[in-house]
Structures are given as C-alpha cells and as structure tokens.
C-alpha cells in the first residue's frame, strides 16, 4: 500500500517565526495550514496561495495591498489578518486560528437551518460586511465556505480581498472570478462588482440557510450564471413553506437583478434586519452544535472569461437597462425603494400589533434577552467598564499580562468580544499588567548558538552579542547576560525583553619566559594591543633577563582591542659582598647570612664570639654575586 506524499511545507518555519504544523483545508486559491507563532506563542492559521497564482508580479502586488486592507478592518465578525509574507516566492497570509466549522459544514449536517439560526448568522455576516463596506472593501467571493463558526460561538467572515487579488491576475484582466452559485447579475454580465454584489451573495447564502439548497442549479456553470442574469430569485417560502415572510422580503430585496434596487450596502440590509428584530419578528437565537472537521475540499472559485460574459450579456437584452441611470432615474429608484420598505415595515408592524404578547417574550426569553459583548481592547479600564455596563453587563476586573497592551488598559473580555450573552451576565475584564515577567533562562557557560535558542525558547528576544572578554571560561561560551544598557538582569524579566550576551574569549595565555617580541606577536593574534610605555622591570629568580615575567592589564575585564603592557625581567637580583674585616666572626657570619649569602668558616661555632675577622673574604668584599653564593670567612683568635 503506497502512502500519501508528505506535504513539504509541514515542519517548515516561515520567516523564522511561523512553524507549519499540519494542513487543515485546501481550496481553489490556497492551502490552509495550522501553525505556531514562535514570537507571540499562539496558534495561527497560515493561508499559502497556490504557486501558479504568484507567477505575475501584478498579483503579488495586489495581494499585498488587499492583505493590508483586510488587516485594517479589525471587526468581531471578520477573521483577523495578523501578517503577510512570502515562502519560496509564494505569498501567504497569517490569520487568527478559529477552531470550529464552516457554514457549509453546518448545512451539510443539518440540510437547512431554523429561522432563529439563520437570523443569528445573517446578522453576523451583515455586520462583518458592513464594516468592510464602510472601509471601502468588497469581498467579491462570499459563500458558506467563507463563513466560520467558532467553537466558542463567534461567527466570522474570512478571505477578504483574495478574490479581487486573483481576478486582477487573469490573462485578459477582464475575467470574472467568483463561485458561480453566488455571483450577482452585474458580475456575470459586466464583470463589475461593488458592495451591492456582496449584498446579492448574502441573499443567496440566506436563501440556502433557510431552504437547504441553492436557488439555481445546472450541469454547467454557464447555465447557473445565465439564471442569475435573467431570472428573478425564487422566494424561500416556495421551497420551505414555513419560512417567515420577513425572510422572503429580505431575500427578494437583497437579490434583485437590478443593483440599484438592492440595499446600497450591507449596513442598509443590516439596519432592516435590526428593525425587524426590534419589532419582535425574529425568533430567539440558539447555540449551534460543534461538528467534527470533515476536512473536505471547498467548492472552487470559478472564472468566466470575457467571451462567456458577452454571451450572457447579449442574452440579457430584454432585461432591465444595464447602463448607468441618470440622476433623476436614480432618485426615483431610491424613492421607490424607500416606499416599498415603508410598506413592508408597516405591514410588519400590523403583524406585531396582532401578537401583543410577542414583545414580552422577546425581551424576557427571546433574542432581546441577549446582548453582544462589545470590543474594549486598548481602552482604559474606566472606559471599558463603562462600555460593558452600558450593555447591561456586570463587570469583574482581573489582571493579565499582555505584550501589546500597555499596563492599565483593557486586553480582552471573557466571554470574548462579539459573544452573545444574557443581560446582566458577569463579564471578566482583563486589565493589562504589561508583558508577563518570566524567570531568566540559565545560559551562562553555554555556547552562543545554544544560548540563543534557549533564550528564544523561554520567550525572550536575543539582543546584541557584546565584546568578548578574556576569562577562564572556554572561548565562545556565555559569561553573563545583561539588558541593552549593560545592566545586570534581575531574576525575572518581561516576556520578549531583549537580552544581550557577553561571551568569553577564553583564558589569556601564560607568556612568562617569552621575549617581549614573542609575547607581542602572540597578543596581536588575540586582538590585543601592546604599549611598551606601560612596561615595568623587575628582578626574577626564574625568568631570564629581558624576558616577560607577566602581563600588565587594564582595570576590570580584558576585552579584544584593549591595550596591555609587560613586567620584564631584570634577571636574578645580585648581592654585593660587604667588608666584614674587624668584626667578630659571629657578627660577620650573621650579616652575610642575612643578605642571602651562605658564609663558611673553618673555626667551630664555640669560638665565633672570641674570634675576629682579620682577612678579606672569598669572594672579596665588593663583589656582586647571586643570592645563595658561598662566601669563605677567615678569622683569628
């Protein structure tokens, strides 16, 4: 049995920061991997584009632009983009990792959703799209595969900007990219997309959530695209009879073939949904079950070329005029749309009045009893507490460390921002204490490479390697660690704090017995300078005259580049023999011995006090001799 080939990216580290652990999904534009961010110690999702998409420099440039735009959105219903880069010339994105399932997987499990489930997901999708549209960003490829349902209840949209980057890279520059089942008529016929195209795709997704099927089917993509361009959208209630009329109106409005007859953007559709919720027509939300990861392949994003679009556009000759409307026509369309909305809302209010008890249910037990936890990251604790309390939540402040949020400001909440919770629920507000204080790594005595790895493993940052110091420790090993100012570090240090290393250059050599020239050459090879002006001379019993006794070192540690001198030997110190004539023999013997000489005489010691030195010594007085020299003393009684 042949095993499947191993993905070469698994186990690789991108930009010395992101370790690729395993593949979790694959699609028409990219592979998605689970990874670890070594710098921040967190799990991330790494989306690596297929190699063929990066052949054109225009694609890479557009991809980077779109990635930066998506990274700036920062909304609870949009997957956060943390970073972007290249791996072997192929662009990649680093995003937040959300354990859970996609909306497509939920639909596969349940076929269709209840009105309550569809309402909650629809609100999250429109909220995310509204934030993007407010920032001038169009998704262009909204579909259930790009709606993520996290295990903790969060609902987020992913893949912002990718479709636009890819469509800019097609051969003609005019090809149409998107998943056929969710393409708006203007995308099909003219390749033009704006916020209203996202609104159309949302309407299709809503239809699919309510009915369990897509509105248009066909054996070929062209057949489906043709229906988008020429057919009015069927109502969900024609498929599932118990779908509320509210959703029929919302689907029909958001999927109108004429873009000018749709909501101008997702925020307009969201405000309509909110107005319906306030009026009590949406049922209570519920928690979705967590389903196992199916690991399937997402439906590929397809491309319609220019020729296909021209066929569809010609066939649409009997459809509403695709040319831009005049200012008067647009004003009339807007007025008509507002009039229709007024009629719809009025009709809904009548239904409300006919169900007087529904409002009490909404606020007491239905969706109105739940609120969304607001985003507070970066706010002062006072501001964050006030915002949470305004949302009818009870706040408990706890401390936690943070690499990015300064001390005294809000880091996060538990439950997290965007979560739906009961009113008067308790929310923990995390107040930053700054980076976490961690015990210092034990790296003294380690080789440099091992020390750097240990410092990074313990979640610190390696700084500069300071001057090498001559020490008894082995060359290249760490003598001590300091902060960037050279100050000794305390027992604990902030996470990701910079640690500088001081290395040993090894012990200084023993130069005793070398000539000054020999010693100077040896020190020069070690990076030390010799200043003969620092030299001193001294007698030495063991070192010959003119040779080095020892080094003269600067105060403190000796580093490469420092200047040193030598203690130079004068040889052994010589002793001048004194004239001891006329002294008693005992006194003469004691004086010579005190000078380090070895006096000798023929008379026994009993006679030394009475004997007197009457002749010169041998060697004679005045002679300079080495210590320990034997001196003969003659005396008479």
CATH numbers and ranges of domains, the chain: 13-96 (3.30.200.20), 101-328 (1.10.510.10), 373-432 (3.30.10.20), 437-506 (3.30.10.20), 516-569 (3.30.10.20), 575-636 (3.30.10.20)
What is the length of the chain?
637
d(CA 177, CA 228): 15
d(CA 493, CA 411): 20
Q: 308: pLDDT confidence band, cut at 50, 70 and 90?
A: very low
Q: 54: pLDDT confidence band, cut at 50, 70 and 90?
A: low
Catalytic residue among 36, 83, 141, 316: 141
- 516 or 307, higher pLDDT: 516
For residue 243, CA distances in Å to 147, 238, 250, 460 come to 22, 9, 12, 57
- 452 or 401, higher pLDDT: 452
Which pairing describes strands 81-87 and 598-600: parallel, antiparallel, or unpaired? unpaired
Per-residue confidence (pLDDT) for residue 175, from 0 to 100: 38
Alpha-carbon torsion 237, 240, 245, 246, what sign? negative
- 319 or 241, higher pLDDT: 241
Per-residue confidence (pLDDT) for residue 307, from 0 to 100: 44
Residue with tokens 């240090």: 493
d(CA 548, CA 535): 10
d(CA 265, CA 3): 49
Residue 301: partners with Cβ closer than 8 Å, 6 or more residues away: 27, 28, 29, 141, 163, 166, 177, 178, 179
- In a 13 Å sphere around the CA of 579, the CA atoms on its Cβ side amount to 3
pLDDT tens digits, residue range 245-284? 999 999 999 999 999 999 999 999 999 999 887 765 443 3
3-state secondary structure 552-589: ECCCCCCECCCEEEEEEECCCCCEECCCCCCCEHHHHH
Q: Which of 311, 162, 190 is nearest to 258 (CA)?
A: 190
Q: Is the previous residue joined to 619 through a cis bond, with omega within 30 degrees of 0?
A: yes
Looking at 68-77, 363-372, 487-496, 516-525, which range is the least confident one? Answer: 363-372
Q: At what angle are helices 115-134 and 195-211 packed, to 10 degrees?
A: 170
Q: Would you give the distance in Å from CA 632 to the centre of its chain?
A: 89
| Residue 58 predicted with pLDDT over 50 | yes
d(CA 37, CA 149): 22
Long-range CB pairs of 602-608 (<8 Å, 24+ gap) are: 602/634, 603/635, 603/637, 607/637, 608/584, 608/635
| Residue 52 predicted with pLDDT over 60 | yes
Q: 162: pLDDT confidence band, cut at 50, 70 and 90?
A: low
Phi and psi angles of residue 589, each rounded to the nearest 5 degrees, phi first: -65, -45
For the chain, the average pLDDT equals 80
Per-residue confidence (pLDDT) for residue 66, from 0 to 100: 67
d(CA 620, CA 623): 6
Phi and psi angles of residue 116, each rounded to the nearest 5 degrees, phi first: -65, -45
Q: Would you give the distance in Å from CA 464 to the centre of its chain?
A: 21
Identify any residues that bridge with 32 across adjacent strands, giving them in sequence order: 25, 47
Q: 319: pLDDT confidence band, cut at 50, 70 and 90?
A: very low
The pair of three-digit structure tokens given for residue 219, joined into one six-digit string = 């054996």
d(CA 22, CA 44): 11
CB atoms within 10 A of CB 219: 7
Given a contact cutoff of 8 angstroms between Cβ atoms, the answer to whether 131 and 269 are in contact is no
Please state the rounded mean pLDDT for residues 359-383.
67
CB atoms within 10 A of CB 438: 16
Residue with tokens 């507002």: 338
Given a contact cutoff of 8 angstroms between Cβ atoms, the answer to whether 100 and 148 are in contact is yes
d(CA 376, CA 239): 43
| Residue 182 predicted with pLDDT over 60 | yes
Given a contact cutoff of 8 angstroms between Cβ atoms, the answer to whether 619 and 568 are in contact is no
d(CA 534, CA 160): 71
Residue 599: partners with Cβ closer than 8 Å, 6 or more residues away: 588, 589, 592, 593, 630, 631, 633
Q: Is 141 a catalytic residue?
A: yes
Looking at 212-216, 278-282, 393-397, which range is the least confident one? Answer: 278-282
d(CA 211, CA 573): 111
d(CA 255, CA 555): 83
Residue with tokens 């010691």: 605
d(CA 568, CA 550): 7
CB-based burial, 495-532: b 16+ in 10 Å, e otherwise:
bbbebbbbbbbbebeebbebebeebbebbeeeebebee
3-state secondary structure 17-60: CEEEEEEEEECCCEEEEEEEECCCCEEEEEEEECHHHHCCHHHH
Per-residue confidence (pLDDT) for residue 370, from 0 to 100: 75
Beta-strand runs (E) in 362-460: 370-372, 394-400, 410-414, 420-422, 426-432, 437-439
Q: 605: pLDDT confidence band, cut at 50, 70 and 90?
A: very high
Q: H or E element: which one contains 456?
A: helix 448-457
d(CA 104, CA 280): 28
Residue with tokens 């989306």: 47
d(CA 244, CA 578): 130
């Amino acid at each position: 049995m042949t095993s499947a080939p191993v993905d070469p990216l698994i186990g690789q580290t991108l930009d010395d920061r992101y370790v690729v652990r395993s593949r979790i999904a694959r699609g028409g534009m990219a592979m998605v991997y689970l990874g670890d961010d070594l710098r921040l110690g967190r799990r991330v999702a790494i989306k690596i584009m297929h190699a063929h998409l990066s052949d054109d420099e225009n694609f890479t440039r557009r991809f980077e632009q779109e990635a930066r735009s998506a990274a700036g959105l920062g909304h609870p219903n949009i997957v956060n983009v943390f970073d972007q880069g290249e791996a072997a010339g192929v662009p990649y994105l680093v995003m937040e990792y959300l354990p859970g399932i996609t909306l497509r997987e939920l639909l596969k499990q349940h076929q269709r959703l209840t009105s309550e489930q569809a309402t909650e997901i629809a609100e999250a999708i429109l909220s995310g799209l509204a934030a993007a549209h407010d920032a001038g960003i169009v998704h262009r490829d909204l579909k259930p595969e790009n709606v993520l349902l996290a295990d903790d209840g969060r609902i987020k949209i992913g893949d912002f900007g990718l479709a636009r980057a890819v469509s800019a890279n097609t051969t003609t520059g005019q090809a149409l990219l998107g998943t056929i089942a969710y393409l708006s008529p203007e995308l099909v016929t003219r390749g033009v997309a704006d916020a209203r195209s996202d609104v159309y795709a949302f309407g299709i997704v809503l239809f699919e959530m309510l009915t369990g099927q897509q509105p248009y089917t066909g054996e070929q993509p062209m057949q489906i695209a043709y229906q988008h361009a020429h057919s009015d959208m069927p109502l969900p209630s024609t498929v599932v009879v118990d779908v509320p009329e509210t959703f029929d109106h919302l689907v029909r409005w958001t999927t109108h073939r004429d873009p000018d007859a749709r909501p101008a953007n997702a925020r307009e559709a969201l405000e309509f949904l909110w107005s319906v919720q306030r009026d009590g027509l949406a049922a209570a939300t519920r928690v979705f079950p967590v389903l196992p990861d199916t690991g399937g392949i997402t439906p590929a994003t397809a491309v319609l070329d220019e020729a296909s679009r021209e066929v569809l556009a010609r066939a649409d000759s009997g459809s509403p005029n695709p040319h831009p409307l005049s200012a008067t026509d647009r004003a009339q369309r807007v007025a008509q749309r507002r009039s229709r909305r007024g009629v719809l809302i009025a009709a809904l209010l009548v239904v409300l009045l006919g169900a007087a008890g529904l409002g009490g249910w909404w606020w007491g037990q239905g969706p109105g009893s739940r609120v969304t936890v607001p985003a507070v990251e970066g706010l002062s604790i006072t501001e964050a507490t006030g915002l949470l309390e305004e949302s009818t939540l009870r706040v408990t402040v706890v401390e936690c460390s943070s690499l990015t949020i300064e001390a005294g400001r809000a880091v996060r909440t538990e439950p997290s921002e965007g979560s739906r919770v009961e009113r008067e629920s308790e929310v923990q507000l995390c107040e930053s204490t700054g980076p976490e204080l961690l015990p210092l790594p034990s790296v003294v005595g380690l080789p440099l490479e091992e020390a750097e790895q240990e410092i990074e493993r313990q979640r610190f940052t390696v700084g500069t390697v300071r001057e090498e110091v001559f020490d008894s420790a082995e060359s290249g090993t760490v003598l001590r660690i300091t902060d960037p100012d050279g100050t000794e570090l305390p027992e604990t240090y902030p996470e990701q704090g910079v640690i500088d290393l001081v290395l040993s250059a090894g012990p200084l050599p023993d130069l005793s017995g070398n000539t000054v020239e020999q010693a100077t050459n040896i020190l020069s090879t070690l990076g030390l300078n010799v200043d003969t002006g620092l030299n001193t001379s001294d007698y030495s019993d063991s070192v010959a005259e003119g040779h080095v006794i020892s080094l003269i070192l600067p105060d403190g540690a000796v580093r490469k580049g420092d200047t040193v001198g030598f203690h130079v030997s004068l040889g052994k110190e010589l002793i001048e023999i004194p004239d001891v004539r006329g002294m008693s023999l005992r006194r003469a013997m004691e004086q010579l011995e005190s000078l380090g000489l070895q006096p000798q005489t023929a008379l026994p010691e009993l006679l030394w006090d009475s004997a007197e030195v009457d002749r010169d010594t041998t060697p004679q007085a005045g002679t300079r001799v080495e210590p320990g020299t034997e001196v003969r003393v003659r005396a008479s009684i």
